[in-house]
Structure 1
Amino acid sequence: MRTRTATAGEEAMQALSESLSEIRERAAAHEHSGDWNAAMEAFERLFQRGVEERDPFTVAGALRGSARVRRRLECFEEAEEIAELSFEIAQRNGLKGAAAQAVNGLAAIYHVQQDWTRAAQLYAKALDLALDAGDDSTVGHASQNLGIIANIQGRLPEARARYLESIASSVRSGDKVSAMTAYNNLGIVCTDLQEWMEAELYFNRGIEVAEQVGDSGLLAMLHANRAKPLIHVGEFAKARLVLAAAYTAAACIGDRGTLAEVEVSRATIARLHGDFAAAETHLQRAITLATEGDLEREHALALEGIAQLRWDQGRQVEALAQLGRACEIFHFVGSERDAARAEALLTGWKAEEAE
């Protein structure tokens, strides 16, 4: 039996028959799956329909989506122009919430380019606009993004306050994805502040939300991060179980970054128990995973772990060299929080060597 393919005219008629909500759903589905070309075409179609129907809300939203896709494709100049146009259209038509979302999207473009100063300025502007619009969802996103930058730059109390604000706004808006991300980030800050019980509390809450949403990627990350305060307080059996859960979730989706962090944490437990051979094995696995995934930060975390192992083995010269290299990589990738931790350890070791 022969099948007939649709003609160009029929495809055009089909496109015209789609409602705005159907085009939005199609664009969102393509964006979520990472099919950037299909997503771009869908957002362009949404833009055209918005113009045809003289719907500025739809036009502004379509432009935001198109800017996000171009940001993902690293077409940063185009993304900036489109995001700015989305803001202008929203502002001109009195769409305060859409204007706030456009500025937040513009900030994200600078964020991924590690222009922290410009990104923070725009996130702060987005936050002000969102507060004026009563847009709790965007308040949550902008607050969390400001927290991320403060965290990267080592301003932990500020990061903590921003994450708490983000959680409150995300709960009000019902944005579970934003809330669980903020719980994870807040747990990381509390870990860095050595507030172990509070850190575990936030990680646990994030895990509960991630399980409700079914987000395997963030669930794996939350489990991996939860193990760190448990290790610090000596709850090794519990930490091993948590790391096993993290490994299982990460392996299901091929998340090399989280798998590498699991191996580093397993190495820490082995080292603290004096099992240097097992620690070495876990750290070499972490190096392999980081190398395969071209993951600079995770590579540096593994080098930091190797440095700690060499120090405990009495191989101080190697330890200092490995930790120095880890510090360089942390700075290179813009992870100032990690760099500050590693440099504090390096300073302590050098002082100990000088005695």
Structure 2
Amino acid sequence: MVAGQAEGEAGAEDAPALRVSCPQPLLRAAREYDRKGHIEEAVSAYEAAIAAAELAGDHDTLAEALRRLAVVRCRQQKTAEARALCRRSEAVALEAGHPGLVAEALNTAGGIDLIDERFDAARALFLRASALDIDPDLRGRVEQNLGTVASTQGDHPHALERYRRSLTGFLAAANDHGCAVAYHNLGVVSIDLRLWAEADRYLGLCLEAVRATGDLHLRGLALLNRAEALIGLDRLREAGLAAESASGIFDELHAPRELADAYRVRGSVFRKNGELGRAQARLRLAVEFASASGCALSEAEASRELALVLMALGRGADAAALMAQAAGELERLKPASRPSRILAGEYPASVRAWGELLAVADPQGARHAERVAAGAVDLARLLGYGEEAQARLRIGACLHPFDPARLLDGTVPWDVGPMIRHHAERRDGSGPFGLRGDAIPLDAEILGIVDAHDTEPPTDGAAGRWWRADVVSAFRRIGSSAG
């Protein structure tokens, strides 16, 4: 064992005297146990440090030990106790007149809310911390957490900005561990932006830094997320090895939420390798672990991946039903980004999930849907649609091959059901529901004309009977410009 571990164990017999007189060495020992993943020893040492600091009247050490114990309790899924410890830490720091420690307590409490997916509460705590007079290192951590809130809620460009600010703070503070965390989160947001090579680079830098700091939990996260980047780069063998290593770490740390994500990534590798039985087994475990740990986002991501496996196994109805559940949760937890990002092809998580299902069921149909989505936006822009209306139309066009009944009840950002349901209607009443003239929504006409021309272009005479004259005229102008 390392010296810190031996010291903690040897000190157990002399605990009363050590706890009374030496709160700071106890806190250092607790942190060493924590970094090495020895959770029970860390808890005992933090509790000893708290008792010693209270007796010694050492408010700074007391506030810090309370806060760090809160982090450990959070990892153990004891969030009520963790929040109470943060409140005690904040109160002690306020009494001591130490704004930096107040901000530390607020930042940790916000982190607990972030893990529990209470995003608005987390952001409020982080902003309170950022308003205080704090050093570059703490500024880096607060910016990091604000970036994570932005990323989780789909604002990836804003998250990237926050993460870069945090890296600047950590570099200024010469905080190697903070830099490792910043590299990790820059890698994660690069995955969200589908910048696979950048993600691989950042996560590689994180793993290099972690080798020096010895943070086992962060090493597991970096391996797990690098596996996702490697999947994006189609380096499946390396991805599988990285995800397997991450699973081993999180099993050792008794971290069920992270273990659920590791099983999900391993299931994804198996699916892409065509090993559907092994994929299904891993993904069912991922859903089970995520559900048991109360992590709705992890459960939704695992269910999304499991739906893709079911579709590949030919169980289309089961796949669509499961995807509807998963997409609804993804839309709730990772809502739509700004319309400008959607128009640039950065779909919300719920829409991306449906698109992935279509790609498994009908790859050619998925390519057709994306062409129609791009063309519908061009036409809508020419007809004077605003940015948000264009984004809505793009999502509807992207998902138009699906039964619109599956896309209701909050499973995608807007109610695109009417445009999908009626996009095959024709103004002369020859469509499937017999709607005529202006009874057909304009969104549906725009989607309909682009869809028809991508599939089997009608004659000029038919186009004049089927769609509004201004829609036909605008569509022809687009075709003339492209030619």
- Please, what TM-score do these two structures have when normalized by structure 2? 0.58
| Partner in structure 2 of residue 63 of structure 1 | 63
The answer on whether the counterparts of 2:93 and 2:99 sit within 8 Å (CA) in structure 1 is no
The answer on whether the counterparts of 1:170 and 1:176 sit within 8 Å (CA) in structure 2 is yes
- Give 1:75-94 correspondences, 5 Å limit: 75=81, 78-79=84-85, 81-91=87-97
Cα distance in 2, alignment partners of residues 191 and 325 from structure 1: 23
| Partner in structure 2 of residue 342 of structure 1 | 350
Distance 1:113 1:252, change over 3 A: closer
Alpha-carbon deviation of 1:161?
A: 1.3
Q: Give the AA of the match of 1:43.
A: I
Of the three residues 23, 43, 46, the one matched with 2:50 is 43
Question: Helix, strand or coil for the counterpart of 1:234?
Answer: coil
| Partner in structure 1 of residue 149 of structure 2 | 149
2:243 is aligned with 1:246: no
Cα distance in 1, alignment partners of residues 287 and 65 from structure 2: 36
| Partner in structure 2 of residue 183 of structure 1 | 183
For structure 2, the residue ranges without an aligned partner over 5 or more in a row are 1-13, 338-346, 359-398, 404-419, 421-483
2:128 is aligned with 1:125: yes
| Partner in structure 1 of residue 174 of structure 2 | 174
Cα distance in 1, alignment partners of residues 247 and 91 from structure 2: 43
Cα distance in 2, alignment partners of residues 87 and 303 from structure 1: 43
1:18-38 residue CA offsets vs partner (Å, 9 max, x unmatched): 245334335646877355466
Distance 1:37 1:323, change over 3 A: same
The answer on whether the counterparts of 2:63 and 2:92 sit within 8 Å (CA) in structure 1 is yes
Cα distance in 1, alignment partners of residues 307 and 159 from structure 2: 28
| Partner in structure 1 of residue 400 of structure 2 | 351
Cα distance in 2, alignment partners of residues 109 and 68 from structure 1: 12
More helix by share: 1
Distance 1:75 1:271, change over 3 A: closer
Alpha-carbon deviation of 1:220?
A: 2.4
Aligned residues: 331
| Partner in structure 2 of residue 276 of structure 1 | 276
Q: Give the AA of the match of 2:157.
A: P
Cα distance in 1, alignment partners of residues 15 and 273 from structure 2: 66
- Percent identical residues: 22
1:69-126 residue CA offsets vs partner (Å, 9 max, x unmatched): 46735147744642442342343xxx44334334434544554554433432332232
The answer on whether the counterparts of 1:24 and 1:46 sit within 8 Å (CA) in structure 2 is no
For structure 1, the residue ranges without an aligned partner over 5 or more in a row are 1-9, 51-57
| Partner in structure 2 of residue 3 of structure 1 | none
**Superposition RMSD in Å:** 3.6
Distance 1:105 1:320, change over 3 A: same
Q: Give the AA of the match of 2:400.
A: A
Greater gyration radius: 2
Cα distance in 1, alignment partners of residues 252 and 85 from structure 2: 33
| Partner in structure 2 of residue 21 of structure 1 | 24
| Partner in structure 2 of residue 98 of structure 1 | 101
Cα distance in 2, alignment partners of residues 288 and 240 from structure 1: 21
Question: Helix, strand or coil for the counterpart of 2:154?
Answer: coil
The answer on whether the counterparts of 2:116 and 2:295 sit within 8 Å (CA) in structure 1 is no
The answer on whether the counterparts of 1:43 and 1:62 sit within 8 Å (CA) in structure 2 is yes
Cα distance in 2, alignment partners of residues 241 and 76 from structure 1: 34
Distance 1:313 1:120, change over 3 A: same
